[in-house]
Amino acid sequence: GNLSKAGTTTNSWLNTLTFMKAWELVLEDGRWWSHEWVAKVDPDAVFFPHRLKVGLYKYYTAGDPNGPALWVGNCDRSFQGNPKHLKIFGALEVFSRNALGMYNANGKHQCKEELDWEGWGEDYYMQRCMQLMNVQAVDGVSFFGDARCYYAPCTDTTKVAFHDFKDVGSYFACMDTSRNAEAAKVFMK
């Protein structure tokens, strides 16, 4: 990427090309096709896949190979005076099998050619690519605790992921806190 490019959407890593190549490897491997959903999770995000699975039930029938092409928007805050809309914050990116199928079939080429991605982070690229392919977004704002969008304490068991934890101690403290809160909730029933 190029931070001096007009329209740059991040002051962080311009990692789009790296992630295009990473997605190519995932798609070439083929195991993603055996699952209804695929999640890309940053290593500094505390992630609870069982919570995500429950949160996604209403959008995609388990075992349905013809389920809808969907991506999960995990933030809807307004930035720089722009109107609120669903967007992907890159610590947790979630796509249905058929959204990735569309990306694999043609989207990866179409998006690379038609989108002005060189000044974008990989999350914004995937969001814009899904939009270009007319893949529907589902509202997953309630899934994610991230101070960059909406903070949530690790005790909030409605969240499937918490971000960001840059050191091992804080990462495992959040994980343990959330697991204990979940266990206490089950115990109280």
pLDDT at 14: 78
Q: Would you call 160 helix, strand, or coil by DSSP?
A: coil
The answer to whether residues 149 and 75 touch, using CB atoms and an 8 Å cutoff, is yes
Rounded distance between C-alpha atoms, residue 155 and residue 174, angstroms: 8
Tens of pLDDT, residue by residue over 79-107, are 888 889 999 998 999 999 999 999 999 99
* Helix 16-29 / helix 122-132 crossing angle, nearest 10 deg: 60
pLDDT at 64: 81
Low-confidence ranges of the chain (pLDDT < 70): 1-13, 187-189
pLDDT at 1: 47
